[in-house]
Structure 1
Amino acid sequence: MLQSANVAVSVNGVTKQFGDFTAVKDLDIEIYEGEFFSMLGPSGSGKTTVLRMIAGFENVTAGKILLHGDDVTAAAPFDREVNTVFQDYALFPHLTIAENVAYGLRVRGVSKTERNRLVGEALEQVQLSAVASRQPSQLSGGQRQRIALARALILRPKVLLLDEPLGALDKQLREQMQIELKQIQREVGITFVFVTHDQEEALTLSDRVAVFNNGKIEQVGSPREVYEFPETEFVARFLGITNIIPSATAARFFGSSELHSLRPERVELADPTTPLETDEIALGGTIAEIVYAGAHTRYLVDVEDGVRYISEKQNRHTPRTEASLRRGDTVSLRFQKTHATPIPGTQPVSAAA
């Protein structure tokens, strides 16, 4: 559906240099109207620089940026129909919550009566009508983030840019805000362009994800596509934990020397004497480490060819029942052939998972 939609943001052949350093290299992106699009990557990968160029906070060294077909490459930030939500919220500490949300409307000369009406609607949308008269310092981090979002949305931008807006929140609150943010985006129907270094966050929120590395995009696709079918070894490793099956092992089992990605949740541990099922692959190994993580347990297994694999198992046993496996146990590592996906065009970069 998104492929046939109108394009909200076009980044065409964009390069950004800071002196001798090239932060972004000949980048092309198309982001569709009404889409939740995430730019994901490690620190220094160029994702925030791209967001700032779309917003107009950074100049483009080469290339063009278009918003709904209009070339805004040289336009000032206030001449672009976008708004930005920052990680630090950027609320005015001396203004009340209602005054913070109304600030952009006041700058635009909107009448007081209309401002009050729109502020009321915006605060109701983020479920914070009761705090309108408070100061930002009296709110929690999650509440301040929702106020920053309301202040940005009240101006009805065609594109909302979000620069790691949940990064300062603790894990539980961040997960709660992810759900709220996605619900708000669906309600308002505005294009969201979201920058994050958190893989789980990108997978949870996005319609599509662009994975950045060294100023370039390694892969763009739906969360399922980039997780299940990584196109580069970097994407496979960065999008959660994975086992990289090395070239020699891949050639033996799959008839191809391309590296393969195998997610830990698809790896089972069995008794070495258990018969193989149809199309199942077995590797003998020894449990090197066991990591208990509450809902699941990870087993690090050193196999016969010197590679360490990870198996992840949901903890479905009763709470007072200890897991039967121990460090040093000999096990058979099992997975279906179809559960390992080839990484196109890869060569044996490394053997460790």
Structure 2
Amino acid sequence: MAQHSPMTDTSTAAVSLRGIGKQFGDLTAVKDLDIDIQPGEFFSMLGPSGSGKTTVLRMIAGFEEPTSGQILLHGADVTRAAPFDREVNTVFQDYALFPHLSISENVAYGLTVRGIDRAQKRRLVDAALEQVRLGHVAGRRPSQLSGGQRQRIALARALILRPKVLLLDEPLGALDKQLREQMQIELKQIQREVGITFIFVTHDQEEALTLSDRVAVFNGGKIEQVGSPREVYEFPQTAFVAGFLGVTNLISPEASQQLLDDGRLHSLRPERVHLAELAAGVEPGTVAVAGTVAETVYAGAHTRYLVDTEMGLRIISEKQNTHTPRTEPSVRRGDRVSLRFQRDHATAVPDEAKVPVG
């Protein structure tokens, strides 16, 4: 059974979803979903393609109507309300900037539609551009900006209307890795400055962990787990969450019976597994298992070792590359090694039928 967010007083939550479901013909995209998102929270919906996260975002925005259930914004029922009748705004992956308008005109667009007078509009636009540190590009066109700059302009255009909730549909997806990581930090800083509730959709696990106050992990139209980044990474409540959030070693009940004497499913993160010589002593509380290095994967900051154990289990170990740059790593493919980890570093994954709701 999936773990939903705890029920709270819907009048205090920024967004409350109650029993939300969505059907597209015979396809069930979202199943009986309950979420409470608090004011000022950076809340991420994380999951693979087709897991239902974008459909949920579109229902909150009003672009899709739920088949069942209720959507409340700050206690008000907006389930059947049109998008323009909701105090929310959306930033899309393609930014949707008007190519024929200047940057300041793009940012001012929502104010123009609302009939805000020219002097006030100018003040608000200048403030919004300074907030995203792009006041110097006000007179340019979108085609003259980089991808990261266009992303910030789309954000400024959405924030200038001061929505109570800002919805972000994979807004960093089109950026390269270095720029994406830079924008993650900037996005979190901007959210803290403005204090608006952000609901962020992504399939990028690292991005969700970096940005979020809480993460909801989606799978098959349902939420598998909701919690802080640390909670969902360190204490996965289902095998899916353990496997989807980063890299992990899932130790089957049969294998854990041999290694840990408890016969339960466990998640063991590679960074907690260390390599040692076969003859090295084993400290109390440490589990040791012999194996052969099947593959080494160099990834710059760390090296990953895939080790086939004598008990037929493949275990991944990850080591930070702290050695001198010109020094070759000492462990190679085919080497016999001993894998070591602390017994309490293997986190038991609860029986999914027994995971509590509420």
**TM-score under structure 2 length normalisation:** 0.95
The counterpart of 2:181, out of the listed 159, 175, 186, is: 175
Q: Counterpart in 1 of 2:311?
A: 305
Q: Counterpart in 2 of 1:48?
A: 54
The counterpart of 2:322, out of the listed 306, 316, 323, is: 316
SS of the residue corresponding to residue 218 of structure 2 reads strand
The counterpart of 1:251, out of the listed 254, 257, 273, is: 257
Counterparts of 1:36-185 in structure 2, within 5 Å, are 36-185=42-191
What is the identity, as a one-letter code, of the residue corresponding to 2:301? A
Q: Does structure 2 retain, via aligned residues, the 8 Å contact 1:245–1:262?
A: yes
- Residue 257 of structure 1 and its aligned partner are, at CA, apart by 2.1
- Report the CA distance shift for 1:346/1:307 in structure 2 as closer, same or farther (over 3 A): farther
Q: Does structure 1 retain, via aligned residues, the 8 Å contact 2:47–2:217?
A: yes
CA RMSD of aligned residues (A): 1.3
Q: Does structure 2 retain, via aligned residues, the 8 Å contact 1:276–1:282?
A: yes
The counterpart of 1:327, out of the listed 333, 338, 343, is: 333
SS of the residue corresponding to residue 103 of structure 1 reads helix
- Residue 4 of structure 1 and its aligned partner are, at CA, apart by 8.3
Instruction: Write the distance in 2 (CA, Å) between the matches of 1:256 and 1:120.
Output: 62
Q: Counterpart in 1 of 2:351?
A: 345
Q: Does structure 2 retain, via aligned residues, the 8 Å contact 1:84–1:161?
A: yes
Instruction: Write the distance in 1 (CA, Å) between the matches of 2:32 and 2:184.
Output: 31
- Residue 20 of structure 1 and its aligned partner are, at CA, apart by 0.5
Q: Counterpart in 2 of 1:205?
A: 211
The counterpart of 2:199, out of the listed 166, 185, 193, is: 193
SS of the residue corresponding to residue 43 of structure 1 reads coil
Q: Does structure 2 retain, via aligned residues, the 8 Å contact 1:53–1:60?
A: yes
Instruction: Write the distance in 1 (CA, Å) between the matches of 2:8 and 2:103.
Output: 40
SS of the residue corresponding to residue 7 of structure 1 reads coil
Q: Counterpart in 1 of 2:248?
A: 242
- Residue 249 of structure 1 and its aligned partner are, at CA, apart by 2.0
Q: Does structure 2 retain, via aligned residues, the 8 Å contact 1:242–1:261?
A: yes
Instruction: Write the distance in 1 (CA, Å) between the matches of 2:133 and 2:205.
Output: 28
Does 1:217 pair with 2:209?
no
SS of the residue corresponding to residue 14 of structure 2 reads strand
Instruction: Write the distance in 1 (CA, Å) between the matches of 2:81 and 2:257.
Output: 53
Q: Counterpart in 2 of 1:278?
A: 284
What is the identity, as a one-letter code, of the residue corresponding to 1:212? F
Instruction: Write the distance in 1 (CA, Å) between the matches of 2:317 and 2:352.
Output: 23
SS of the residue corresponding to residue 90 of structure 1 reads coil
Instruction: Write the distance in 2 (CA, Å) between the matches of 1:208 and 1:272.
Output: 42
Q: Percent identity?
A: 75
Q: Does structure 1 retain, via aligned residues, the 8 Å contact 2:8–2:36?
A: no
**What are the Cα deviations for residues 126-174 of structure 1, in whole angstroms up to 9, with x where unaligned?**
0000000000000000000000000000000000000000000000000
Structure 1: runs of 5 or more not aligned: 348-353
What is the identity, as a one-letter code, of the residue corresponding to 2:217? V
Structure 2: runs of 5 or more not aligned: 1-5, 354-358
Mean Cα deviation higher: 253-262 or 129-138: 253-262
Instruction: Write the distance in 2 (CA, Å) between the matches of 1:130 and 1:324.
Output: 52
The number of residues matched between the two structures is 346
Instruction: Write the distance in 2 (CA, Å) between the matches of 1:228 and 1:172.
Output: 26
SS of the residue corresponding to residue 59 of structure 1 reads coil
- Report the CA distance shift for 1:100/1:324 in structure 2 as closer, same or farther (over 3 A): same
Q: Does structure 1 retain, via aligned residues, the 8 Å contact 2:255–2:313?
A: no
Q: Does structure 1 retain, via aligned residues, the 8 Å contact 2:53–2:221?
A: yes
* Higher relative contact order (Cα pairs below 8 Å, separated by 6+ residues): 2
- Residue 246 of structure 1 and its aligned partner are, at CA, apart by 1.3
What is the identity, as a one-letter code, of the residue corresponding to 2:210? T
Q: Does structure 2 retain, via aligned residues, the 8 Å contact 1:244–1:261?
A: yes
Q: Does structure 2 retain, via aligned residues, the 8 Å contact 1:8–1:68?
A: yes
Does 1:227 pair with 2:203?
no
What is the identity, as a one-letter code, of the residue corresponding to 2:277? D
Q: Does structure 1 retain, via aligned residues, the 8 Å contact 2:275–2:338?
A: yes
